[in-house]
Structure 1
Amino acid sequence: MSSFFTLPSSAKKRKRQNAAPSGASRSRKSKFTGDRSAEKPRKRAKTDDESISSGDSELDVLEADSKDGLDTSGSDSELEGGTDQGRRIKLAERYLENTRREVDAAGFDAADIDRDLIAERLKEDVAEDKGKLYRRIGSDLAFDRAVHTSFRTDAKAITGVAACDPYLYIVTKDIRLQKWELANSSIARSQPEDRGTNGRPTTSPYERRKPKRIRMTHGSQRQSQNPSYQHHTASILCVAASADGKFVATGGADRRLIIWDATNLNPLRVFTQHRDAVTALSFRRGTNQLYSASKDRTIKTWSLDTLAYVETLFGHQDEVVDVAALAQEQCISVGARDRTARLWKVVEESQLVFRGGGGMGSTRSRSKDWKPGRETGLVPTRGHAEGSIDRVAMIDEETFVTGSDNGSLCLWNIHKKKPVFTYALAHGLDPPLEPEQVSAETNPDPKVVGEPTPRWITALTAVPYSDLILSGSWDGHVRAWRIGDDKRRIEALGPVGKTKHDLAVQVNGEAEETERIDGGADGQDAETSGEEKLAIGVVNDLAVFERGERGKESVIVVAALGNEHRMGRWIKVPGKNSAVVFEISKKSLGEGQPRTNGDEVVNGGAGHDSDFEGFGDA
């Protein structure tokens, strides 16, 4: 094989293009080279010149800026004559000099500010890459002043909601997938509402801020035997949206996983690999890798970039009802009545098993002697055993939280097999059944009273890599929680949204003491009697996202409501099949802080009395 070292010398000389021509060769090449003074500018020189100036419009902008309130003490004669490039450079130098003078007069250095912002952003990026909790936003949000708006979907119970700002994707039990558009600005109008002579508002403060439905698609049960049908044929149970806004995934009781084009809701691919209902979906953060959970006791992974199936994860002993994932290639799933949460390390092809099944959680709470009474509120006489783990949300790559059917929120760390902390009865207790409902006798003994039952945790979500958790049940509220600074405690932040009780406290300046355990003689919650319930019905799903650069503006929470549970009709709650959008803004320094009385937080704080460890009021 010939190479440079084996070529003849004549061939080497022909490849020397930079050598100066001499003698006859110079006259032979003169028609290509010519005089260097008359040679056209080389292409690279032209490119460099264009990189300095992008056109005459840029020169006009610089001249306008130099004369618009800036120092123009320099002689205009300096700009006369010469090339346009020289004028641009001089104008740019003058503009920068004037900017420096303004910065010095204001008393701060823009370079230092930019340096601090860049350093802060780099620290956050490194923390997120390592999968660590690095944002403390729970105490900076004004949950009691959150504004809200609700909208009807004209369908059966909403089973799931997914958000990709500014769009919402909602699925229902009557096989509907709907796309809604949220308002870009604050939900509530800044102007006060107009009121008529009777005192009633003539205009709603939310009428222009309600989400707008822009597209809907509907399936059919009649096509259940048609394998080529490109839609669901039974209730849709879950939905997820990719972060890049390209894909929407839905799973249903018909065992189908369908991938949709997020723009027009056209089906892209229908997967039928699951052998039972698809119960939960979750995208890996920042990618189009999808995890799906099913009642067939498996989790499957999918690549939506290629619309292909990847692999199946086995291990659960009961149906898998929820799954969550963050940036790393791993996910957390919960298996209902096998009472386990499992961390799947996909790359290592391994899993970590975390076993639940605990009772009330706190030793002090279990040993406390409680007494039931309708007048003072219903309290438990014993611990409520955990029957199933129904919900899971990831805080960071090492911390996650689960919700159970005994109303407990459990905080976990992947380095421990048992919960780090358990917050029992997060949404209180349902009142016991009436004697007529408990006994089969015609005239039952009035003393026959059943025990109060805890409200399940039916929805759970978290802001990734932050200390903020949101949960839902059927007590009429979406409740906010935060992770303690030591990551070993869950603290209550209160219900999300304005209530009549909050307004009364602001007017009177005092907060009435209320019982922690819910329920009363009239069937209402003792702690919420007189309050306005903003989430009436079963909260079947929650979606949360932040607005502004890195969440500087507000946090948006969307609650999917139904009059029955998404997985069945085990409970029926008076309510509307609708959705509620909460916008939680940042609270200014010194405002919105809870009023304390000694060690006890009276109004909306995160703490609670020491005798009620694990029962802190929201």
Structure 2
Amino acid sequence: MSATAGARKRGKPASGAAAGAGAGKRRRKADSAGDRGKSKGGGKMNEEISSDSESESLAPRKPEEEEEELEETAQEKKLRLAKLYLEQLRQQEEEKAEARAFEEDQVAGRLKEDVLEQKGRLQKSVAKEIQAPASADIRVLRGHQLSITCLVITPDDSAIFSAAKDCTIIKWSMESGRKLHVIPRAKKGAEGKPPGHSSHVLCMAISSDGKYLASGDRSKLILIWEAQSCQHLYTFTGHRDAVSGLAFRRGTHQLYSTSHDRSVKVWNVAENSYVETLFGHQDAVAALDALSRECCVTAGGRDGTVRVWKIPEESQLVFYGHQGSIDCIHLINEEHMVSGADDGSVALWGLSKKRPLALQREAHGLRGEPGLEQPFWISSVAALLNTDLVATGSHSSCVRLWQCGDGFRQLDLLCDIPLVGFINSLKFSSSGDFLVAGVGQEHRLGRWWRIKEARNSVCIIPLRRVPVPPAAGS
């Protein structure tokens, strides 16, 4: 047995290369043990690091990291844009639906008004909005020497024609109040002279297109003028007494005339021709009016009747209600009218009733000594077309504005507009912005009284509207 083998067997350390090899083994074992210790220690360090990383995760992230996370895919972007587009389309459709509903409401309202207007039952409520004008706001146009008897306003509200007992006709500018033209009095029997009236002008009418002006006088004549230039065109003869009323049928050149000879005549102005004559009144006819239908209404004076003439049927409807002479009449719409009489009463009529729907007695009060009082005569009436606003005139030193109640069954006083003199004619403008009054010292049909302090003039009364606030709870 060798010495080396014996030494290993006894457990003694070996010398030489064998010892170096054994030492290397021991070092490797120690190193591996140290590595294991390190790995264990490293495990503990890793746990601590992971704990630190968790605390860092609670801290605010960097913008670069957020942008990375907020980035969307192309598919997500398409989906988002499609949703936005659909939302815009939905909003547009809702807006269009609202606009259509609004337009339909407007169209329905207009159609309803058109139907009511055609039936003659349209009644726009404007009377409550009218504010009484101050005396200083009334414009006074002076040019006639004698009492104003009648007047008309052009359809575009740009000019006024007035006529008087001085036999002249004056065309006034509405804006400036200046005279645009004067048709002078014609001398009787003067041949070759400029045409005109040689006696009191009692009535006038203007066509709805503003082309023709017609005027009638006490000499039984009807003169036709070109309204723009005031050039004389034709002269209609045929009445056997004073021409007291004229009216054009709206939308046409058909002219109706009435006279103290108790007749109603129909003319075609465009063709310069006479059409027919209608009879029925038992006394001198005092006034006449017409609208779009082929019919006219007349005030029968002392025969105490109001008559509706149906031209195609050549028939008439007769209405009774006033106690005195019915001197003035005006259509409110195709189915309703207002009239005034010298018994001081104002009446509202419907074509379906032979008696007044409303009757306002002593509409302008009483005059005279105690115990001998008499009502003020109603010398003129006017109505704003298709509304509830009515005006009446007398010689009571004022023009009165009235409101027609629902169904024209009531007449309520709104306000008084101070004007001294006989209010012989009243006309509302087409827009309803003003009322024109023809004022005279005498009544248009006679000389029963004379008011010296009155001025023979045309008065333009502004009508300002103040919207009425809706009632509480409405």
Partner of 1:174: 166
Structure 1 position 119, deviation (Å): 2.7
SS of equivalent to 2:110: helix
- Residue of structure 2 aligned with 1:161, choices 127, 151, 154: 151
Structure 1 position 136, deviation (Å): 1.8
Structure 1 position 235, deviation (Å): 1.1
SS of equivalent to 1:300: strand
Equivalent pairs, count: 377
SS of equivalent to 2:208: coil
Pairwise mapping of residues 321-360 of structure 1 onto structure 2 (< 5 A)? 321-357=286-322
Structure 1 position 150, deviation (Å): 1.2
Q: In the superposition, relative to structure 1, how do residues 126 and 222 fare at CA in structure 2: closer, same or farther (>3 Å)?
A: same
Conservation of the 8 A alpha-carbon contact between 1:253 and 1:278? yes
Partner of 1:67: none
Conservation of the 8 A alpha-carbon contact between 1:240 and 1:282? yes
Determine the C-alpha separation between the residues in 2 that align with 1:537 and 1:223.
Answer: 34
- Residue of structure 1 aligned with 2:184, choices 218, 228, 250: 218
For 1:160, the aligned partner's letter is: C
Partner of 2:69: none
SS of equivalent to 1:486: helix
Pairwise mapping of residues 148-547 of structure 1 onto structure 2 (< 5 A)? 148-164=138-154, 165-183=157-175, 210-223=176-189, 230-357=195-322, 386-432=323-369, 451-496=372-417, 533=418, 535-547=419-431
- Residue of structure 2 aligned with 1:584, choices 439, 457, 463: 463
Conservation of the 8 A alpha-carbon contact between 1:230 and 1:270? no
SS of equivalent to 2:433: strand
Partner of 2:447: 569
SS of equivalent to 1:546: coil
Determine the C-alpha separation between the residues in 2 that align with 1:140 and 1:175.
Answer: 38
Determine the C-alpha separation between the residues in 2 that align with 1:154 and 1:238.
Answer: 16
Determine the C-alpha separation between the residues in 2 that align with 1:248 and 1:270.
Answer: 12
Determine the C-alpha separation between the residues in 1 that align with 2:173 and 2:349.
Answer: 36
Partner of 2:41: none
SS of equivalent to 1:221: coil
Conservation of the 8 A alpha-carbon contact between 1:540 and 1:566? yes
Deviations 1:291-332 (A, max 9, x none): 111111011111222122111110001000001112111111
Determine the C-alpha separation between the residues in 2 that align with 1:235 and 1:564.
Answer: 13
Structure 1 position 228, deviation (Å): 9.4
SS of equivalent to 1:397: coil
RMSD: 2.5
For 1:323, the aligned partner's letter is: L
For 1:231, the aligned partner's letter is: G
Pairwise mapping of residues 127-146 of structure 1 onto structure 2 (< 5 A)? 127-144=116-133
For 1:324, the aligned partner's letter is: D
SS of equivalent to 1:418: coil
Conservation of the 8 A alpha-carbon contact between 1:149 and 1:581? yes
Deviations 1:126-178 (A, max 9, x none): 22112223322212222356942111124211111100111100111111111
For 2:376, the aligned partner's letter is: R
Determine the C-alpha separation between the residues in 1 that align with 2:310 and 2:180.
Answer: 39
Aligned-pair identity in percent equals: 37
5+ unaligned residues in a row in structure 2: which ranges?
A: 1-87
Determine the C-alpha separation between the residues in 1 that align with 2:366 and 2:423.
Answer: 16
For 2:332, the aligned partner's letter is: I
5+ unaligned residues in a row in structure 1: which ranges?
A: 1-96, 184-209, 358-385, 433-448, 497-532, 548-553, 594-618
Determine the C-alpha separation between the residues in 1 that align with 2:338 and 2:292.
Answer: 17
Deviations 1:206-259 (A, max 9, x none): xxxx512111111223337x6997321111111111121101110001110001
Determine the C-alpha separation between the residues in 1 that align with 2:252 and 2:134.
Answer: 35
Conservation of the 8 A alpha-carbon contact between 2:120 and 2:336? no
Pairwise mapping of residues 104-123 of structure 1 onto structure 2 (< 5 A)? 110-123=99-112
Q: TM-score, normalised by structure 2?
A: 0.75
Partner of 2:73: none
Determine the C-alpha separation between the residues in 2 that align with 1:287 and 1:113.
Answer: 35
Conservation of the 8 A alpha-carbon contact between 1:298 and 1:312? yes
For 1:248, the aligned partner's letter is: L
Structure 1 position 456, deviation (Å): 0.5
Conservation of the 8 A alpha-carbon contact between 1:221 and 1:234? no
Structure 1 position 570, deviation (Å): 1.2
Conservation of the 8 A alpha-carbon contact between 1:541 and 1:559? yes
Conservation of the 8 A alpha-carbon contact between 2:349 and 2:356? yes
Q: In the superposition, relative to structure 1, how do residues 136 and 334 fare at CA in structure 2: closer, same or farther (>3 Å)?
A: same
Instruction: Kindly name which structure, 1 or 2, has the bigger radius of gyration based on alpha carbons.
Output: 2
Conservation of the 8 A alpha-carbon contact between 1:133 and 1:467? no
SS of equivalent to 1:121: helix
Conservation of the 8 A alpha-carbon contact between 1:223 and 1:229? no
Determine the C-alpha separation between the residues in 1 that align with 2:414 and 2:180.
Answer: 35
Conservation of the 8 A alpha-carbon contact between 2:119 and 2:335? no
For 2:379, the aligned partner's letter is: T
Structure 1 position 350, deviation (Å): 0.6
Structure 1 position 487, deviation (Å): 2.2
Determine the C-alpha separation between the residues in 2 that align with 1:134 and 1:475.
Answer: 29
Q: TM-score, normalised by structure 1?
A: 0.58
Point out the more displaced range, 215-224 or 336-345.
215-224
SS of equivalent to 2:278: strand
Structure 1 position 111, deviation (Å): 4.5
Structure 1 position 428, deviation (Å): 1.0
For 1:267, the aligned partner's letter is: H
Determine the C-alpha separation between the residues in 2 that align with 1:221 and 1:271.
Answer: 18
Q: In the superposition, relative to structure 1, how do residues 424 and 119 fare at CA in structure 2: closer, same or farther (>3 Å)?
A: same
SS of equivalent to 2:188: helix
Determine the C-alpha separation between the residues in 2 that align with 1:120 and 1:486.
Answer: 19
Q: In the superposition, relative to structure 1, how do residues 134 and 154 fare at CA in structure 2: closer, same or farther (>3 Å)?
A: closer
Partner of 2:38: none
Conservation of the 8 A alpha-carbon contact between 2:342 and 2:378? yes
For 1:451, the aligned partner's letter is: L
Determine the C-alpha separation between the residues in 1 that align with 2:272 and 2:102.
Answer: 45
Determine the C-alpha separation between the residues in 2 that align with 1:303 and 1:401.
Answer: 27
Pairwise mapping of residues 545-556 of structure 1 onto structure 2 (< 5 A)? 545-547=429-431, 554-556=432-434
Determine the C-alpha separation between the residues in 1 that align with 2:329 and 2:192.
Answer: 33
SS of equivalent to 2:463: strand
Determine the C-alpha separation between the residues in 1 that align with 2:194 and 2:236.
Answer: 12
For 1:542, the aligned partner's letter is: L
Structure 1 position 121, deviation (Å): 2.1
For 1:294, the aligned partner's letter is: S
For 1:121, the aligned partner's letter is: R
Determine the C-alpha separation between the residues in 1 that align with 2:260 and 2:339.
Answer: 18
Deviations 1:465-498 (A, max 9, x none): 22111110011211111211132111111124xx
